[in-house]
């Protein structure tokens, strides 16, 4: 493996003095880790995966800002509905025309995208008003590819420079997202193959080393004991990929500081208060501070929803009059609690989401973001009892009394909605139809970003700054989509589907049977509850885009 200097030269980086300043800003342990070069280039002996691409190449919507056709480009994080389809739905709500790469170029799960073909597609894009690019797709071939791929460090750096150069050539503003490489405690099929055996040990090792880089101390013998049973090639691969990815992100931050991008949003998913992901984020923030804390860079939690937050930010910048947001909590006294899969208090994460979307918190606000949080500690959605309580009724009454636009960020549980809240809202069909937005999926940051982005778009629609033709129907369709997926599938159908399946998370040859069973569950247990608020709703089918039960694409009309 070749060693790329910590601060390589080139037009896309700060001048020598600034370059030295941001390099010196890194903690010594991080400089040592980045400068270390052990072993050789990785081969394909640890690779795996495969899959079938999805269809639909270019996704469009009619309308535009103030009656003018507006065309935006999306290079998504991967081909999942959460990162691709949901972004397009949000852009359609705003009346934008969206162009995105052909599906066959995007890869699928562990099979990386055709990166060179993606670059050719992007460099030929014309007549754009804005471009939104997930760096992982253009540097590695997708989010999972950034975790398991073997692109040499020099190739990744060259692609990073290529992105900077493209951003400078485009007449349109470029918004870029990137996610710090995670080190999850449990395997989930999105890490290198060795994670199934050594993942928990490497996660513990990451936590100890991360604590050291963040100023704590650990016993050397404890670190040695942890790694005693882990093959050297595994540790080497783990450290090499972290160095490679962090170097590229340092260059992205330095380039954004010089104005290469209109905005760079750095996220992190499946993380904790300690660990190398946290230390890596701290290293990026140290460089950002050394470069004068430029407003063109933002940090926080989240990954899948970063593109939606960038779209909201662009709309606020393009249209002006960004909404002032009042934040309300179901349990205000618990707003400092830390959600699952994240490392900061919920209140701090809310603040970072508001900042990344280009909005300010205010009591004398235009709109309301209701954060339906947890009373003490967050639990998984599958553990809930779906029984209403006093807090749910208080939320319903508050939503009913609120005259301003309001969106609900349902973070009471992780990986699914609060069934008691959703049913209580659906018992009042007129109340549900008034909502500017709703989300309750995966992590707290995923939910917050989606709900807030919906709120921003509907705010501009109501203010007459976006094309209003068919806008209310599009808003209801997006609201239905979120309720079906976040509550209907994640909180109702998926637990029963897993119990019925009694097999691995990846259904394999039983996929068709499971899809049929899922559709039946949707029709029997979800649609009747939705019917009063969404008359005539029906399910045209269910599919598992990544061949696993965790996420499904439920086609409701």
What does the domain layout of the chain look like in residue ranges? 64-184+240-316, 320-556
DSSP letters, 416-460, are S--HHHHHHHHTSHHHHHH-SEEE--SSHHHHHHHHHHHHHHHHH
Instruction: State the pLDDT at residue 24.
Output: 63
- In this prediction, residue 291 carries a pLDDT of 95
What is the SS3 assignment for 240?
A: helix
Consecutive 10-residue runs of the chain (557 residues): their mean pLDDT?
35 39 61 53 35 32 58 97 97 95 94 96 92 98 97 97 96 97 87 94 88 68 79 95 97 97 96 87 95 96 98 97 97 97 96 98 96 96 87 93 97 98 96 96 98 98 88 95 98 94 82 96 98 97 95 96
* pLDDT for position 214: 66
CA pair distance 485, 507, nearest whole angstrom: 19
79: enclosing H helix or E strand? none
Q: What percent of the chain has pLDDT over 70?
A: 86
DSSP string, 241-266: HHHHHHHHHHHHHHHHHTTSSSEEEE
pLDDT at 2: 34
Report residue 100: phi and psi, to 5°: -140, 155
Q: How far apart are CA 372 and CA 392, in angstroms?
A: 9
Nearest residue to 135 (alpha-carbon basis) of 118, 152, 148, 120: 118
d(CA 467, CA 315): 13
From 176, 196, 173, select the one nearest 185 (Cα to Cα).
196
State pTM to two decimals. 0.89
Q: What pLDDT is attached to residue 509? A: 86
Contact 275, 210 (CB under 8 A): yes
Is 64-184+240-316 in CATH node 3.30.720? no
Contact 169, 179 (CB under 8 A): no
Token pair 């709120």: residue? 455
Tokens of 427: 């018992």
pLDDT, tens digit (0-9, with 9 covering 90-100), for 4-22: 333 333 333 333 344 455 5
Instruction: Decide: helix, strand or coil at residue 36.
Output: coil
pLDDT of residue 389: 84
* Rounded Cα gap, residues 124 and 135, in angstroms: 18
């Amino acid at each position: 493996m070749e060693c790329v200097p910590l601060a390589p030269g080139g037009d896309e980086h700060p001048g020598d003095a600034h370059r030295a300043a941001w390099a010196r800003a890194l903690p010594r342990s991080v400089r040592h880790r980045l400068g270390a070069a052990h072993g050789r280039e990785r081969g394909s002996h640890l690779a795996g995966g495969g899959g079938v691409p999805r269809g639909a190449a270019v996704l469009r919507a009619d309308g535009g800002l103030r009656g003018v056709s507006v065309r935006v480009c999306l290079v998504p994080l991967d081909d999942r509905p959460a990162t691709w389809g949901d972004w397009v739905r949000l852009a359609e709500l705003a009346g934008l025309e969206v162009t995105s790469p052909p599906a066959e170029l995007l890869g699928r799960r562990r099979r990386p995208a055709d990166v060179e073909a993606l670059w050719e597609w992007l460099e030929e894009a014309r007549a754009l008003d804005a471009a939104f690019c997930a760096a992982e797709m253009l540097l590695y071939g997708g989010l999972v590819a950034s975790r398991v791929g073997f692109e040499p460090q020099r190739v990744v750096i060259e692609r990073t420079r290529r992105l900077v150069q493209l951003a400078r050539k485009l007449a349109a503003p470029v918004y870029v997202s990137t996610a710090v490489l995670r080190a999850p405690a449990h395997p989930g099929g999105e890490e290198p193959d060795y994670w199934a055996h050594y993942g928990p040990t490497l996660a513990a090792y990451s936590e100890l080393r991360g604590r050291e880089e963040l100023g704590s101390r650990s016993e050397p013998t404890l670190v040695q004991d942890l790694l005693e049973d882990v093959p050297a090639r595994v540790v080497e691969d783990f450290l090499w990929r972290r160095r490679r990815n962090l170097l590229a992100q340092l260059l992205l931050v330095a380039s954004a500081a010089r104005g290469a991008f209109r905005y760079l949003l750095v996220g992190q998913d499946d993380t904790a208060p300690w660990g190398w992901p946290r230390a890596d984020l701290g290293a990026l923030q140290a460089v950002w501070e050394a470069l004068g804390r430029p407003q063109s860079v933002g940090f926080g939690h989240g990954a899948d929803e970063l593109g939606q937050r960038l779209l909201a930010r662009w709309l606020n910048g393009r249209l002006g009059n960004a909404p002032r947001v009042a934040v309300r909590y179901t349990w205000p006294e618990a707003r400092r609690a830390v959600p699952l899969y994240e490392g900061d208090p919920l209140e701090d994460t809310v603040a970072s989401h508001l900042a990344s979307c280009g909005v300010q918190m205010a009591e004398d606000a235009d709109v309301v973001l209701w954060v339906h949080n947890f009373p003490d500690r967050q639990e998984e959605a599958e553990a809930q009892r779906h029984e209403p309580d006093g807090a749910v009724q208080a939320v319903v009454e508050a939503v009913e009394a609120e005259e301003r636009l309001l969106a609900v960020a349902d973070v009471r549980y992780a990986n699914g909605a609060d069934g008691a809240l959703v049913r209580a809202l659906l018992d009042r069909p007129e109340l549900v139809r008034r909502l500017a937005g709703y989300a309750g999926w995966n992590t707290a940051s995923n939910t917050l970003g989606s709900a807030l982005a919906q709120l921003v778009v509907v705010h501009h629609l109501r203010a007459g700054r976006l094309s209003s033709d068919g806008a209310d129907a599009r808003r209801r369709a997006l609201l239905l989509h979120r309720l079906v997926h976040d509550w209907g599938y994640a909180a109702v159908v998926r637990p029963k589907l897993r119990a019925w399946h009694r097999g691995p998370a990846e259904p394999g040859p039983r996929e068709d049977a499971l899809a049929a069973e899922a559709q039946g569950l949707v029709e029997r247990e979800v649609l009747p509850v939705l019917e009063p608020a969404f008359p005539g709703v029906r399910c045209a089918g269910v599919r598992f885009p990544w061949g696993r039960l965790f996420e499904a694409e439920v086609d409701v009309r």
